[in-house]
Structure formats: structure tokens, C-alpha cells
């Protein structure tokens, strides 16, 4: 098993993820190359909660321009975690 800190990069806190948090769904950025099982084990070990479902989204890299310079925004992998009924994560509380 991998170290949980090598799987989860950071929690993603936006207006959209805050709305999802009301339905016990929390979003994290995870490392490339991890699978749903590794994400589930990492979240359960770090936060001591029961994960019922994991959805993974691969976000492609996008072109970004600043003035005359063009580059690419990095590709990221997101995981949406669904917790068991009645459980919450304090990371997302405002």
C-alpha cells in the first residue's frame, strides 16, 4: 500500500465542490497513475471515515496565453469521494 500523502495532492475547494459537500461528496486532486482503490484507502486512513464510492476524472491540459506568451496548463486527476451517511470532512467546512 502506498503512503496516503503520496496519493492525495490537495483538497479542491471551489463553489461547485462546496455545493457537492452538502451531499457528502468531497473532491481531491490526486496523483497521476493512482486508481480508485488506492484513493479510497488513502482517504479512509487519513480522515478515519467510511468511503462508499470513488469517481475519478482526468482533466486534460489546456492552452493558456498570457500576453504574447503561450503555454499549457498542467493536466490533473480529480477524485470525487462519497462518504457514508452522517459523516463529514472538516477540510471543506467554511
pLDDT of residue 90: 79
- Whole-structure pTM value: 0.86
Closest CA to 41 of 88, 10, 69, 81: 81
Task: Give the CATH H-level superfamily of domain 4-84.
Answer: RRM (RNA recognition motif) domain (3.30.70.330)
Spans of all domains in the chain: 4-84
pLDDT at 32 over 80: yes
Identify the sign of the CA torsion 87, 22, 91, 59.
Answer: positive
pLDDT for position 94: 55
Using pLDDT thresholds of 50, 70 and 90, give the confidence band for residue 72. Answer: very high
* Total residues belonging to the chain: 94
Question: How much is the average pLDDT of 64-72?
Answer: 95
Amino acid at each position: 500500500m502506498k503512503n496516503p500523502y503520496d496519493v492525495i495532492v490537495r483538497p479542491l475547494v471551489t463553489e461547485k465542490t462546496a455545493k457537492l459537500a452538502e451531499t457528502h461528496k468531497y473532491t481531491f486532486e490526486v496523483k497521476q497513475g493512482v486508481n480508485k482503490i488506492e484513493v479510497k484507502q488513502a482517504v479512509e486512513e487519513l480522515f478515519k471515515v467510511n468511503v462508499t464510492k470513488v469517481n475519478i476524472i482526468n482533466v486534460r491540459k489546456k492552452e493558456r496565453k498570457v500576453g504574447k506568451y503561450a503555454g499549457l496548463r498542467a493536466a490533473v486527476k480529480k477524485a470525487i469521494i462519497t462518504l457514508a451517511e452522517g459523516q463529514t470532512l472538516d477540510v471543506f467546512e467554511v
